[in-house]
Chains A and B, each alone.
Chain A
Amino acid sequence: MSLAVNVRHRVGSLDLEAAFASAGGITAVFGASGCGKTSLVNVIAGLIRPDFARISVGDTVLVDTGKGIDMPPHQRRIGYVFQEARLFPHMTVEGNLGYGEWFTPRPERYAARPQILDLLGIGQLLKRRPRELSGGEKQRVAIGRALLASPRLLLMDEPLASLDAARKAEIMPYLERLRDEVKIPIVYVSHSVAEVMRLASEVAVLAQGKLVAFGPAAEIAQRLDLVPDDEREEGGVIIDMEVAAHDGDFGLTQLSSPAGHIYVPGRLGPAGTPARVRIRARDVMLALEEPRKISALNILRGTVVDISPAGQSSVNVRLDCGGAAVVARITRHSAEALGLAPGTPAYAVVKAVSVSGPSGETP
């Protein structure tokens, strides 16, 4: 189902202005904190009355200020997962989960409780109270509560932001399963490049309330200028690949794409399984000749497309590798020493990759 958003709204000193349309899947709303991400999703949920907005999910118009349509939040049937779970403290987990389900008219219920409990791994928590749950469990229950209301659209506002790294790692696979199994559009708000690039199919980038870029995740990933300063080290590209073969002796999986082969540790699904590879710019070295006698497994061959400054002493060099982009962050000094310019053939030596499959790390 498609999602079309067009919002103009003034919140405090921030002028929120964003318009984008997504075909479905996970649309990430990305930007530094205070750029209006939460305000935008609150407008979509109907918790903020906007100055101007036209928002529709599929054929359903949620709000159209021009036509005087403004559905109240309880009629929008939007699942909203907040940053701080917001479970009802006076109800058990079961009570929380059943809450939205109960308000959903029977003919419109499509969410099946056993599947959702299974998807999120929360079946054994039903009798507990929210205060007896860990942060990660709370967030999973909150996701389940939103899904059981059989929403038309799922909004997730920094669902991992209040969790530590271990809890984030615990929830991430559930989010990936969610993306692949739930057939409703998801709007995922985050300031984390790693989360966005791992999950999103499309990315909307907000800066000071304005939409500065919107497009497929792989395209947006190449625009390292969009990455906020505090996440600078996380900037990089993503390449959607698929599993080609397994090397049992060394415990490696070979992924293939037009850009070339990538080897990653572990065994990732059968051949043909899609897998998304993320390569951070700072993890890529460049060489003019094909490196030999080098420990790096992953070397991609390409051509320099452009070179853009990245701070005082570094540059981002974008390579075209068989249609896919790879960006390397190297020092300005090296770029000059190698004589890099658009058109220069070069080898990208990839020091580290992170991989996420659609179904996580299934054996």
Chain B
Amino acid sequence: MTLFSLTPEEWEAVRLSLKVASVAMIASLPVGIAVAWLLARKAFWGKSLLNGIVHLPLVMPPVVTGYLLLLTFGTHGPIGSFLAQFGIVFAFRWTGAALACAVMGFPLLVRAIRLSIEAVDTRLEAASSTLGANAAWVFLTVTLPLTIPGIIAGMILCFAKAMGEFGATITFVSNIPGETQTLPTAIYTLTQVPGGDAGALKLTAISIAISLGALLVSEFLARRVGQRIAA
């Protein structure tokens, strides 16, 4: 076994990690944008509460988040048992890992997008409405395009968080090779067995490469978009 060859299990962990992180990032994006917009532009009863709930996974121990997910989305949990009737199962599936990652990455996603929306000049939105755009069109044609750098930043933070997510994932969906074993949990497992150091090191290197690559791509995209929309 050379330094660059991976066992099928290790490959599976890399593949699964990328899948889980991508799904978590993409699935939480629309909700993230909606929540960020509500927090940035609207005043409503319970706004602080919503803000608190969104940020909760950032401040709670990940294990607690994972356990709460298990209680609610587990097979016997209120939401889990309801969704199970439609064949949607989270517990001990890769979808559950994605859910855990999405929940953990959500505050980072929302924060970045919210700041970006708050930076959009509301006078441009007013100009748009005088030109005949209703609220939805104002959002789609003015607010959203000007928020793209923040959206990219939020997506990358969410993705990075998902790639590294450990506590909530292992608590909620355990560490099943080929189903829920992502890079961090695979590295953890390898460090627990004799002779696993080489594998752990390889996966660590891959993990660093993916994170760094994601960061570079986001920087590049944000700069290009930033140039296009600069006033």
- What does DSSP make chain A's interface, helix, strand, loop or mixed? mixed
The answer to whether B132 touches A74 (Cβ under 8 A) is yes
Contact across chains for A103 and B130 when beta carbons are under 8 A apart: no
- In the complex, per-residue mask of B102-138: 1 if CB is within 8 Å of any chain A CB, else 0: 0000000000000000000101101111111110011
Tell whether, in the assembled complex, residue A86 and residue B124 are in contact, meaning their CB atoms are under 8 Å apart.
yes
Minimal Cβ-Cβ distance residue in B for A86: B127
A75 to B129, CA, bound (A): 9
Q: Size of chain B's interface in residues, with CB distance under 8 A?
A: 22
**Size category of the binding interface on chain A:** 20 to 34
The residue in chain B whose Cβ has the minimal distance to the Cβ of A100 is B131
| Minimum C-beta distance from B230 to chain A (A) | 6
When the two chains form their complex, are residues B137 and A82 in contact, meaning their CB atoms are under 8 A apart? no
A20 within 8 A of B: no
CB of A45 closer than 8 Å to a CB of B:
yes
Report yes or no: A104 in contact with B231, Cβ–Cβ below 8 A: no
Inter-subunit contact B146/A149 (CB<8 Å): no
Q: Which residue from B123, B128, B231 sits with its C-beta under 8 Å from A130? A: B231
- Whether A79 and B130, one on each chain, are in contact in the complex, defined by CB atoms closer than 8 angstroms, is yes
Residues of B within 8 A of A104 (CB): 132
Contact of B133 among A74, A84, A90, A130 (CB under 8 A): A74
Whether A100 contacts B132 in the complex (CB less than 8 A), given A47-B126, A82-B123, A86-B123, comes out as: yes
Contact B123–A99 (Cβ < 8 Å) = no
Question: B230–A103 contact, CB under 8 A?
Answer: no
- CB-CB under 8 A from A72, the residues of chain B are 129, 134
How far apart are A102's CB and chain B's nearest CB, in angstroms?
8
Instruction: Determine the chain B residues whose CB is within 8 A of the CB of A88 once the complex forms.
Output: 124, 127-128, 141-142
Cβ-based interface call for A114 (8 A): no
Q: Does A260 contact B (CB under 8 A)?
A: no
Contacts of B231 in A (CB 8 A): 89, 130-131
Answer yes or no: A214 CB below 8 A from chain B CBs: no
Min CB gap B137→A, angstroms: 7
* Measured CA separation A76–B129 after assembly (Å): 10
Q: Which residues of chain A are near B132, meaning CB under 8 Å? A: 74-75, 77, 100, 103-104, 149
Chain A residues contacting B228 (CB-CB under 8 Å) are 90
Bound form: Cα–Cα A47–B131 in Å: 12
- Per-position 1/0 for A129-145, Cβ under 8 A of B: 01100000000000001
- Distance (whole angstroms) from the CB of A202 to the closest CB of chain B: 23
Chain A residue numbers with a CB within 8 Å of B124 are 86, 88-89
Complex formed: what's the CA distance from A318 to B132 in Å? 48
Residues on B lying within 8 angstroms of A by beta carbon are 121, 123-124, 126-134, 137-138, 141-142, 145-146, 228-231
Q: Report A's interface with B, CB cutoff 8 A.
A: 45-47, 72-80, 82, 84, 86, 88-90, 99-100, 103-104, 130-131, 145-146, 149
**What are 19 A-B contacts defined by CB distance under 8 Å?**
A72-B129, A74-B131, A74-B133, A78-B130, A79-B130, A80-B130, A82-B123, A82-B127, A86-B124, A88-B127, A89-B231, A90-B145, A90-B146, A99-B141, A103-B131, A103-B132, A103-B133, A103-B137, A131-B230
